[in-house]
Structure 1
């Protein structure tokens, strides 16, 4: 099939998803969408995107599974340990000055970053006065995040990342292992609100001191990146903080001037006092 036909089918499928299910992927980078939907076609035994569209619209069990392809479910606890070390060293000293804190983990997927931040904040004696908003558009991923259960074979990698992040405790203090699974301590999510939220269609919902949205913007086109950064700018309090992925940048964004670099390598920014 020629590329032009595939592009037409892609647009029709994404439009159909928006009108039928109210999930807006129209601002996502097309090349990335095309790769993921090609994989979805194999999974659902569809020769074309048109066949996939027909199945999505007429088989109610298809869309929840397709959502796992449309939303990237790749993460690790303390992924990019240097980022979490930079949070400890550059951001936490400022967070200590607030009597209470709000943190927004946008695009939290299955929760690895949420638990990473909760553990970091507990190690820094800040978790008890922190409310964490963990949001994603994939409700299945949110349920997995809220459960806090991960395969035991992932724990060695999590543990090494945690150690390299400047850990003050052992990761084993925070989970119980049994039957090939690690179940993280319920106390870590006592102050976590898991909620469905779309950076493409929803509004900012609270004033927060830190937004961590890592490896999400790379899947958006420029217009949707600007929309998401506008939400973060609106949500972050005066002189609050923003963390994004190492392959992401505020350069050329409409909101770049609202932030100053705190750590260029780890993509940590601070909102300007006059922004």
Structure 2
């Protein structure tokens, strides 16, 4: 697969999200430790998890403690500050990839029926898959776009903050045990071929056709600290905002709004919505049930 760099980021009016003010109610010891850990990670390694939801932080950090055999969050912080290798391991826990191909098939069916016909009117199309994890969403979109005759004139940007996840995405190799579920999703998403046409099975893995993502630009990008790097017609960021607090959700939505061309499309996860965000009036529902919106202003 082609490993390129995205265009030079243009300045964004949005500043990096900062930590929210201290709440009036006292914090628990665990919450204090979590805040200190996230601040330490940001200052030491420039990874900003400070505005992820406390519930998400706590769940992932406590799991990391168990797996790493450490007694407390404070002990983890002390070791992480002195051991970059340990931070690399911790990063895998903080960004646990939970994904599947053609997840929520109705979303992809809605893209086929309600978005693709409009994308066909553009001479070329740019798609941003934000928070692409290990690449399941990227390959799903590439398959859909190929079947709809759009892939050859589409540039896909696939971004994530986890270098290990990006490397897995580049490889396009997924567990064979997951393929049955992926096949069902593909069929329900309006797939027009045999799903097996897109991969080669060997031992316990399925390697997907490299030509699907030959021109995909995989790149490191943080919705918490980075800026917009391209004008796009479709942004797909699904099941990412649910891990952000309101401040960071609004920052991410601001980036998507800035990135999208006039009347561009935004796709979110089934449990996500812009209805109560600071950008509710900047997007109009296009396929509300499937969480597909269109830039309004």
After TM superposition, the score normalised by the length of structure 1 is: 0.97
Indicate which of 205, 208, 222 corresponds to 1:184.
208
| TM-superposed deviation, 1:95 | 0.4
Alignment pair present for 1:27 and 2:51: yes
Indicate which of 190, 199, 202 corresponds to 1:175.
199
Distance across 1 between alignment mates of 2:36 and 2:278 = 29
Please state whether the residue corresponding to 2:28 is helix, strand or coil. helix
Corresponding residue of 1:255: 279
Corresponding residue of 1:48: 72
1:200–1:227 CA contact under 8 A, matched in 2: yes
Alignment pair present for 1:129 and 2:162: no
Structure 1, gaps ≥5 residues long: none
Alignment pair present for 1:117 and 2:141: yes
Higher relative contact order (CA 8 A, sep 6+): 2
Please state whether the residue corresponding to 1:183 is helix, strand or coil. strand
Distance across 1 between alignment mates of 2:240 and 2:192 = 29
Indicate which of 136, 143, 165 corresponds to 2:167.
143
Distance across 2 between alignment mates of 1:108 and 1:84 = 16
Write the mapping of 1:37-116 to structure 2, written as runs, cut at 5 A.
37-116=61-140
Corresponding residue of 1:195: 219
Please state whether the residue corresponding to 1:191 is helix, strand or coil. coil
| TM-superposed deviation, 1:60 | 2.4
Alignment pair present for 1:212 and 2:233: no
1:78–1:84 CA contact under 8 A, matched in 2: yes
Corresponding residue of 2:23: none
| TM-superposed deviation, 1:72 | 3.3
Corresponding residue of 1:8: 32
Corresponding residue of 1:159: 183
Alignment pair present for 1:229 and 2:250: no
Distance across 1 between alignment mates of 2:130 and 2:96 = 13
Structure 2, gaps ≥5 residues long: 1-25
Distance across 1 between alignment mates of 2:241 and 2:96 = 11
Corresponding residue of 2:15: none
1:103–1:209 CA contact under 8 A, matched in 2: yes
1:128–1:191 CA contact under 8 A, matched in 2: no
1:106–1:213 CA contact under 8 A, matched in 2: yes
1:81–1:162 CA contact under 8 A, matched in 2: yes
